[in-house]
Amino acid sequence: MPVLKSPPAHKNTGIEARCAATGMRMTEQRRVIARVLADSVDHPDVEELYRRCVAVDDKISISTVYRTVKLFEDAGIIERHDFREGRARYETMRDSHHDHLINLRTGEVIEFQSEDIERLQAEVARRLGYRLIDHRLELYAIPLDDKPKR
């Protein structure tokens, strides 16, 4: 006789674990939003996040996504970015620092780390009489092979 197995439980995402650590009540809709955010390799805005969440649970409203994103942001679980597009984009807070290069043609956000840049920023702060505590670096670029419009 075959052994019936129950479906595997969905492993808690880092976002869900951080929510639990803050004592935040996690509804099923918040869990969906947390999982969609955790699975995102890009930096979705609320509209894109909503589209992805509705594909998982069609009962989620756009207002629920907005409220939940704000709740996660206020709790320091996700980070908000304004990449000159007129819309906020989000990513999970990370333990390691990284910077962003934004392709102005496509909107693609490329994450990178550079020890040289980190050293230079700390040195600039030191020369000006400061100790660098935090920073955010966003580079706005177009591809090298991009042809100027005439």
pLDDT digits (tens, 9 = 90+) for 102-125: 999 988 889 899 999 999 999 999
Its pTM stands at 0.71
Identify whether the C-beta of residue 142 lies closer than 8 Å to the C-beta of residue 104: yes
Q: What is the pLDDT of residue 12?
A: 53
Q: Return d(Cα 68, Cα 114) in angstroms, integer.
A: 33
Q: Which pairs from 124-130 meet CB under 8 Å and 24+ separation?
A: none
Distance (Å, rounded) from C-alpha 108 to C-alpha 37? 17
Given the structure tokens 């550079």, which residue do they identify? Answer: 114
Amino acid at position 98, single letter = H
Write out pLDDT tens, residues 46-62.
Answer: 999 999 999 999 999 99
- Say how many C-beta atoms besides its own lie within 10 A of residue 64's C-beta: 18
Task: Render pLDDT for 70-106 as a digit per residue (tens, 0 to 9).
Answer: 999 999 899 898 887 778 889 887 777 889 999 999 8
User: Strands 99-103 and 138-141: what pairing?
Assistant: parallel
